[in-house]
Amino acid sequence: MFFYLLFCQASHRQCRTCVSVRDSSEWDLIEPSVISNDAQMKYRMDLASGCYECRRTGLRIECSHDVQIEYLIRDWECVSDIPEMEHFTPCGPLMDIAIISGKLTAVYLPHFLCLGGPPIKDAARILHVEDSGISFEKCKLTRFHAKLLDHTFSPKGVLVRQGLPVNYHCEALIYQTVKSHLTLHVYLIPSDKKMIGAVEENEIDSKAISKPGPECSLLMKTWFSLKTLEKTKKSECNSEIIPMQLQLKYKPIKPNFFEVFIDSPKEDFYLQLMSQHLKRGVWDVKIRQADYSQSISSMDVRRESYSSNAVGNRPVREILLEYLENLDSRELNDFKWHLTEGVAAFKKLPKCKLEKAERCDIVKCMIDQCEVDGAAKLTVTILGKMQKNSDAKELQEKLEATV
């Protein structure tokens, strides 16, 4: 059982709308242990006295003595049929927390509400799910979290009353699809890890184009349109965008997106998001030729050609399999977790492909996604993150010997 302690202050993407709202920065970012790798991933943290933030979920914990907790993110769908929920909208993950040992001083659930927008006042509540029913508790909102006033634990999440104007912190995610002509999928979603994960699973065969998100929060349940502008921004590109408008809302299953079709662009262009409520642009990014010039179809052809060399690649596959076979079941779950959560410079592997994957299937998935050389580097990197440094060094040496 382990975790990595990163000696740095917790950070969030800055929102200009709520920049004046103060937020404590004295939080140690923690990499939690993974204790299950099923459809709903479960985490564990073993903590000494201090203030901590889970790197993967955003959960914040204060404790004055040693504490062990386990937690997971539930689906809001499990409470969607409760009549009282019709009056509220989720504004963060539904977290199921269990204290294994010790006592917590304070607990903060993450949310994507913007406190710099229209006043929320007393509109936010914490949903508390129990066997006897549900209740809606008061809470104390901070810039990115809601402090629990009741430490009785069961599934809990941040809600806001419907009918009030509320701003969301948002993400704009761009993917290039596998098509002969440039086709992009552009998502506008709340800054919610579950929704981001849903988008990534929807786009498992697409190429992510990483760009900064909106600098200001946006009003929920309002409508937005998307434009493509030429390099000078003076005129629109010849493109087709479907649908004409999208509504910003919390939709964790199959989030909606704009499909942008551009026939053989010859230079850089801009994407611009227009607010129908404000009647102006609220986000624009430059899409450079380098962002999309290498088509995914050509990448797939090269990957297929490269991996078909069975004689040259077989030793590497066998070496990687050998090191996965040395992992026990808990270590293998940790390895899968790193693959699905993402490692710097490598694209995340979809959870649906790894949930019941055997060791040989994992090797195949890594090679299919990253090619043989990339799968080898990824395995070495993850073994190092798991503090299996001797295995990582030994594997690196074996791989270098095959070159």
- The enclosing domain of 253 has a CATH number of 2.60.40.2660
- The enclosing domain of 308 has a CATH number of 1.10.533.10
Q: Greater confidence, 302 or 55?
A: 55
With vertex at residue 42, the alpha carbon angle to CA 6 and CA 130, rounded to the nearest 5 degrees, is 120
Count Cα atoms within 13 angstroms, Cβ side, for 202.
19
Which residue bears the tokens 């959870």? Answer: 351
Q: Greater confidence, 100 or 39?
A: 100
- The enclosing domain of 35 has a CATH number of 2.60.220
The average pLDDT across 237-242 equals 91
Instruction: Give the predicted TM-score (pTM) of the model.
Output: 0.70
Same domain membership, residue 36 and residue 109: yes
* 87: number of Cβ within 10 Å: 12
Same domain membership, residue 231 and residue 84: no
Same domain membership, residue 104 and residue 20: yes
Please, what sign has the CA dihedral across residues 212, 209, 199, 277?
Answer: positive
Same domain membership, residue 146 and residue 174: no
**What pLDDT, on the 0 to 100 scale, is given for residue 227?**
95
Same domain membership, residue 300 and residue 287: no
Which segments of 253-329 are extended strands (E)? 258-262, 269-275, 280-287
C-alpha distance from residue 172 to each of 67, 89, 222, 258 (Å) = 37, 21, 15, 11
Per-residue pLDDT tens over the stretch 297-344: 444 433 433 333 333 444 688 888 889 988 988 889 889 988 988 876
The phi and psi torsions of 84 (rounded to 5 degrees) equal: -65, -20
Same domain membership, residue 256 and residue 381: no
**What pLDDT, on the 0 to 100 scale, is given for residue 142?**
92
For residues 128 and 152, the answer to whether their CB atoms sit within 8 Å is yes
Which segments of 133-195 are extended strands (E)? 133-137, 139-141, 145-148, 155-161, 167-168, 170-176, 182-190
Cα–Cα distance, 391 to 185 (Å, whole number) = 40
The strand pairing partners of 9, in sequence order, are 28
> Does residue 106 carry a pLDDT above 90?
yes
pLDDT band for position 133 (cuts 50, 70, 90): confident
Query: Which among 28, 88, 41 is positioned nearest to 194, based on CA atoms?
Result: 41
C-alpha distance from residue 215 to each of 219, 279, 308 (Å) = 13, 17, 45
Select from 143, 161, 179 the last residue of a domain.
Answer: 161
| 218: containing domain | 169-292
Cα–Cα distance, 329 to 235 (Å, whole number) = 57
The average pLDDT across 278-298 equals 80
Residue type, 81: D
Cα–Cα distance, 261 to 239 (Å, whole number) = 6
pLDDT band for position 39 (cuts 50, 70, 90): low
How far is CA 44 from its chain centroid? 19
Same domain membership, residue 260 and residue 176: yes
The phi and psi torsions of 61 (rounded to 5 degrees) equal: -135, 135
Same domain membership, residue 302 and residue 282: no
Select from 93, 127, 161 the last residue of a domain.
Answer: 161
For residues 202 and 226, the answer to whether their CB atoms sit within 8 Å is no
Count Cα atoms within 13 angstroms, Cβ side, for 268.
10
Per-residue pLDDT tens over the stretch 178-191: 877 899 999 999 99
The average pLDDT across 147-152 equals 87
Q: Using a CB cutoff of 8 Å and minimum separation of 24, what contacts does 8-13 make? A: 10/53, 10/60, 12/143, 12/144, 13/169, 13/191, 13/213
Select from 111, 138, 161 the last residue of a domain.
Answer: 161
The average pLDDT across 13-33 equals 85
Query: Which among 366, 361, 327 is positioned nearest to 346, based on CA atoms?
Result: 366
Total domain count for the chain? 3
DSSP string, 25-89: ---EEEEPEEEE-SSS-EEEEEE-SEEEEETTT--EEEESS-EEEEEEEEPGGGGTTSGGGGGEE
Same domain membership, residue 129 and residue 107: yes
The average pLDDT across 112-116 equals 94
